[in-house]
Structure 1
């Protein structure tokens, strides 16, 4: 399900099939923000990886992403906040290291996503879920 307001879209994530809606919404907001092709592609790729992490690792594969249009002075951007109520990440330092994985993947999701976007933050801990915020600005 996608819920929209004037400058924000909330997309629920509960299955692999929801990843297309996440990517489509990220792409649409990237266009509204005036991101170039390269910046938009990086943002969509990072967001897709984070949504996939929710499906793989969150409690019952459930979470959501809030996608917001941003304006700061004359520049425009887009922010996506991925949230789940899963088990959290016990060792964040290890999880942010290339090739670290607990689920048999390539171990590039979190560190790769961080490299692709202008701003990246993560809040997590054992038993309290995970929130990852990514932001991309137009050039």
Structure 2
């Protein structure tokens, strides 16, 4: 269980919004002492999932939650939601190298590897929500 301390919502309707998602996630991670490696994993996953939301989901939103686990460990949870076509074959979409848009095919599978927690909720014709969670590995500051 995590106590939610701060919530940021960012609309994803154009390329520049991907930058806004990345910056909001990084700023929160820095504020609670995530290491540079942890920040890099978080921002990479945020960037990939924001791009998927824009390209495959025809836009949507990102919800970024800063929280603390019961033991006080800082956590960040990012949920990307769209109302696009959904994902017909989840197993295929999570396979490294598979791309429905000609990319490298590492967005979903890469985000899943980078995150501590990963959840994918999709239904063809109804959209997709991908949620990733990250926990700081070192004690929080002050």
Structure-2-length-normalised TM-score:
0.90
In structure 2, list runs of 5 or more residues that go unmatched.
Answer: 138-142
Tell me how many residue pairs correspond in the alignment: 132
| CA displacement at 1:32 relative to structure 2 | 2.3
Matches within 5 A, 1:1-139: 7-58=6-57, 61-73=58-70, 74-139=72-137
Counterpart of 2:140 in structure 1 is none
1:46-85, CA deviations, whole angstroms, 9 ceiling, x for partnerless residues? Answer: 0100000111111xx2200000111112211111110000
Structure-1-length-normalised TM-score:
0.91
In structure 1, list runs of 5 or more residues that go unmatched.
Answer: 1-5
| CA displacement at 1:134 relative to structure 2 | 0.6
Matches of 2:82 and 2:28, distance apart in 1? 22
Q: Is the contact made by 1:36 and 1:138 (CA closer than 8 Å) also made in structure 2?
A: yes
- The root-mean-square deviation of aligned C-alpha atoms, in Å, is 1.0
Matches of 2:127 and 2:63, distance apart in 1? 16
1:102-122, CA deviations, whole angstroms, 9 ceiling, x for partnerless residues? Answer: 111111110011101111110
Q: What SS is found at the alignment partner of 1:38?
A: helix
Matches of 2:42 and 2:123, distance apart in 1? 25
